[in-house]
Amino acid sequence: MARNRKNRRAEPRNLKRGLPPGAAVYTGAPRDGQVRVSVLRYTTESCAEIANIDFRACVPSPKPDEIVWINVDGIHQVEVVTTICGAFGVHPLAVEDLLNPNTRTKVDDYGDHIVAAAKMVNPAPPGLGGMFELEQVGVVVGPSWVLTFQERPGDGFESIRARLRGGAGRIRKMGADYLLHALLDSVVDVTAEVILSVDQRIDDLEAQPADLHVQAHDLRAELVALRRAVAPLREAISALLRAESPLVREHNKPYFRDLYDHVAQALDLIDSNRERVMSLVQLHLAENGHRLNEVMRVLTVVATLFIPLTFVVGVYGMNFKHMPELEWRYGYPAVWGVMVLMVLGMLAWFRSRRWL
């Protein structure tokens, strides 16, 4: 039962902070390793990448049609985050959110830039307990630049990079807001994989319900945590769609509506999986109750049949001097007759109650 505790515990820690809001302090677990910063600049025609760059060199592009995407792997070096954010004029409160690995999923509109915080729901490494781990992902979008901050090394956005490099698709033509959409969509994609594996695990449990109640307890906890990670994203996207931000242009809104549907579908599936787990537990309880009834019926039939007979034979096992029946010629067969009649009577009674 203690398996996935570490996972769940991660989040509450966020709640406690004696710090002033807006303070640029990393509030996650201590972590080492160099923070890696990479830059990708693209226009409709070209796409240039620099894998490892000094974070002090990150600035918005002077060319209006060029879009700059800066990706930061690791948020535990405060200076990196604040320097880059400073160069792009990100609001201090947003910087605080970006540095906090427990920021609640949300999309905030700061006028000239939009800040999205989300949980990437990565499948957990096997053998560690829990089915997934949450990774904080922050995205800041300006008119012609995008900053992404990932809590851990290892890159969930490689497929987007590949699409940018490829250049054939829409992605190079549609602007920074489209890139925001693509990034959040790939976050939901990863989540979907985890939901699928939960779905699979419930299928397995349905097929072979060993240890069902403990597993159902775990699964419920996983699904609650998943829901908590995913649900706010739906509301955030819905708010973004309603908002009149010039950063999300009208012709790109269908993509965000599509993203909304994507999240809604994930939530639907989480909810119906929860329903399935509950139903499975109820089925199992009902079957156990049925089995108990069965067992008790057998016990009762056997005991009710034999306990009176045992009494009867006990009677004639007594050693009284004066027991006339013992002397009778046909005493013994008579007792057998009585006992057979008793058994037949009880069997008839059982049958009348449908116990047999």
Enter the DSSP assignment of 63.
S
Least CB distance from residue 39 to a second copy, whole Å?
21
d(CA 122, CA 5): 16
Binding mask 163-202 for a second copy (x = CB under 8 A): x-----xxx---------xx--xx--x--xx-xx--x---
Binds a second copy (CB under 8 A): choice among 112, 201, 220, 245: 220
Residues 84-103 that bind a second copy (CB under 8 A): 91-93, 97, 103
Beta bridge partners of 114: 109, 141
Residue for token digits 């299928």?
203
Q: Which of 13, 31, 161, 201 binds a second copy (CB under 8 A)?
A: 13
124: Cα separation from own chain's centroid: 11
* Residues 98-127, mask of contacts with a second copy (x by CB under 8 A): -----xx-x-x-x-----------------
Q: Nearest distance from residue 36's CB to a second copy, in Å?
A: 23
Our CB check for a second copy shows the closer of 41 and 276 to be 276
Total residues at interface with a second copy (CB under 8 A): 121
Q: Rounded CA gap, 67 and 61, in Å?
A: 7
Would you give the DSSP letter of residue 208?
Answer: -
Asked if 154 interacts with a second copy (CB under 8 A), we say no
Backbone angles phi, psi at 63, to 5 degrees: -80, 130
CA dihedral 222, 191, 104, 226 (to 10 degrees): -20
Strand order in the sheet with 132-141: 47-50, 36-42, 67-73, 145-150, 132-141, 114-123, 106-109
Minimum Å distance from CB 224 to a second copy? 5
Between residue 292 and residue 321, which ones bind a second copy under the rule CB under 8 A? 292-300, 302-304, 306-311, 313-321
Among 29, 51, 53, 214, binds a second copy (CB under 8 A): 214
- Contacts to a second copy from residues 27-46, by CB under 8 A: none
Is residue 275 part of the contact set for a second copy (CB under 8 A)? yes
Contact 193, 120 (CB under 8 A): no
Q: Does 258 bind a second copy (CB under 8 A)?
A: yes
Verify binding: residue 257, a second copy, rule CB under 8 A: yes
Write phi, then psi, for 312 (nearest 5 degrees). Answer: -60, -50
When asked if residue 152 is in the footprint of a second copy (CB under 8 A), the reply is no
Q: State the pairing for strand pair 67-73/47-50.
A: unpaired
